[in-house]
Structure 1
Amino acid sequence: MKTLHVSNEIREAFIEQKPIVALESTIISHGLPYPDNKEVALRIHDIVREEGAVPATIAIIDGQLKVGLDEEDIERLATEEGVVKTSIRDLPGVLTKRQTGSTTVATTSYAASQAGIRFFATGGIGGVHRDFPNSMDVSNDLNTLAKSNICVVSAGIKSILDVPNTLEMFETLGVPVYGYETTRYPGFYTTDSGITVETISKEEAASLMRTKDHLTLDQSVHIAVPVPEEEAIDPDWMHSIILEALQEANNQHVTGKDITPFLLKTIHEKTNGQSVKANIALIKNNAKIAAQIANNYYNNY
């Protein structure tokens, strides 16, 4: 049973040794309303191309894990009812049932690694939930990134999570973490989470990945890029809103897979849409930086 389908454009990019940047698809199916979701996805493709790389959005289309979506695929994800938000634990079932699904950070990382793509741009990474002692809730992103030999560029760990403990978990799993041209770990919606991190440039990141090629180390490298300053949200205000959203989730007994979409929706409402504007700005910026790193990696190998 062939489950991984690589598009002709991505195949040609491999043959021609062009830089490729993987992109997740949950933002299309579950992150934004139509037509914003389609427009943002296509704009991210354009940004990656403008930096000299090839975009490879990943999703499950009719039971095939597809690497490299075309505009028709993106239209389906943006408009079709019942698209399954697919993490690693869901992947075998979605493929077996020949469903259509969007890929989370975990599933995108897995598919990119299987396809041989070394660079992946996303918005935020999952991690340890704030109520971990009671919920035991930890994202699949962490274990998958510990087994996927890629460089993942994001705006940091999602700030609705327990960022310090997630970083501790990354250390335990052997996933190195760097701040892109900053010594302050980004707070997703904000430029500074209050945690110090080792800084790295795009040239150093590309060199690090080349060095990693000579080592038998399969874990990812995580590079955290601050949200663009003009769209960053005041950290104190955002912290208070997140606490309010968490309290509402607790009051309404929201748990499991429902909690993250509930929190994001609540934060969107409480910030009058500023959180979504920041999210769109940071994913575009992350795609740009990931493409620059990938370009440097291939052109200086």
Structure 2
Amino acid sequence: MIRTSDEVAEALGAGRAVVALESTVLAHGLPRPRNLQVGLGMEQRVRDAGAVPATVGVLGGVPRVGLSRDEVERMAMADGVLKLSTRDLPVPVARGSDGATTVAATMWLAHRAGVQVFATGGIGGVHRGEDRDVSADITELGRTPMLVVCAGAKSVLDLPATREALETAGVLLVGYGTNELPAFYSPRSGIPVDVRVDDAAQAAALWRAHRDLGLPGAMLLCVPPPEAHALAADEVDGAIAQALEGARAAGIRGKEVTPFLLRAVAEATGGRSLEANVGLLLNNAAVAASVAVALAEGAR
């Protein structure tokens, strides 16, 4: 049912480093044509660091781990691509349609193909507001073993509540060169991580111990956004407050909330939040590849 590309299958069979990448950032997360540029850029960052990229998605009803350049372009430029969490995967499979995978669905498919490391921007979590909607990413992080490299949770979320939800789910929060959870656009949130590592070898050692113990669920390697693109926390908070008011007024709910808020924050910051998003996506891909390489070298 799951089709792994020849390149990814060969790399996994040879014990080489592989990094999974999500496709929702291509189909729903960034404006065109920037989405395609960033998707291909993330793949190149992975290759530059010595690993093989495995962009995940569903094309023509077939779940795929590892997309060709043409397939990445199709995912980025086609209209009507579904946004898929894990529970949604049967829909495009049954109907023979295309779908872009979120953090949760990417983890689920990549793990079943044998990939251990996944790079994304920010995970979903507990939404702000009265309904306290919780992303399915939290559930998947609690049950699927994957080393997930991210810039923390998206800052449009309730970060303290998201941190508590991750703890309840049994997800270890690891700071990469930091003692606190990054706030996506900003390097600091004031929320402590569980443990700090300062290089790829230390991160790989922690993940190896996690797997050797047979623990369920993911380990979250939290990487601050690059300083050149990071935004001040007070500026981001003001933009988010304005965006939340807009979402309430427009009646936006459920899985449409986060993309709406990200677009609104980008508009409020004059596009600088978009540049921060792009910078951290590319940086996370490079960090994930370095950790995947350290894991592969340690297994030899």
TM beyond 0.5: yes
Q: 2:179 & 2:258 partners in 1: Cα distance?
A: 28
> Percentage identity across aligned positions?
43
Structure-2 residue corresponding to 1:150: 146
SS at match of 2:50: coil
- What SS class does the counterpart of residue 259 from structure 1 fall into? helix
- Tell me the equivalent position of 2:119: 121
* CA root-mean-square deviation: 1.0
Alignment of 1:131-150 (within 5 A): 131=129, 134-150=130-146
Tell me which residue corresponds to 1:5: 3
Partner amino acid for 2:166?
F
Q: Distance in 2 between matches of 1:18 and 1:171?
A: 31
Greater Cα offset, 18-27 or 243-252: 243-252
The answer to whether 1:164 aligns with 2:163 is no
The unaligned stretches of length 5 or more in structure 1 are none
How far has the Cα of 1:116 moved from its partner? 1.1
- Equivalent residue, structure 1, for 2:26: 28
Partner residue of 1:199 out of 196, 199, 208: 196
State the Cα deviation string for residues 245-286 of structure 1 (Å, max 9, x = none). Answer: 111111222212221121111111111111110000000000
Distance 1:136 1:168 in 2: 13
Distance 1:186 1:102 in 2: 26
Match of 1:177 in 2: 173
CA distance in 2, matches of 1:94, 1:144: 20
Unaligned segments of structure 2, at least 5 residues: none
**Partners of 2:143 and 2:92 in 1: CA distance:** 21
Q: Distance in 2 between matches of 1:168 and 1:295?
A: 31
Q: Relative to structure 1, is the Cα distance of residues 284 and 148 closer, same or farther in structure 2, using a 3 angstrom cutoff? A: same
Partner Cα separation in structure 2 for residue 102 and residue 207 of structure 1? 31
Q: Hey, what's the Cα distance between the residues in 2 that align with 1:184 and 1:147? A: 24
Query: What does the per-residue CA deviation read over 1:42-93, in whole Å, with 9 as the maximum and x for residues that have no partner?
Result: 1111110111100000000000110000011011111111100111121111
5 Å-filtered alignment, 1:104-119, equals 104-119=102-117
Shift of 1:136: 4.1
Q: How many residues align?
A: 297
User: Could you tell me the TM-score, scaled by structure 2's length?
Assistant: 0.97
Matches within 5 A, 1:273-288: 273-288=271-286
Quote how far apart the aligned CAs of 1:35 are: 2.2
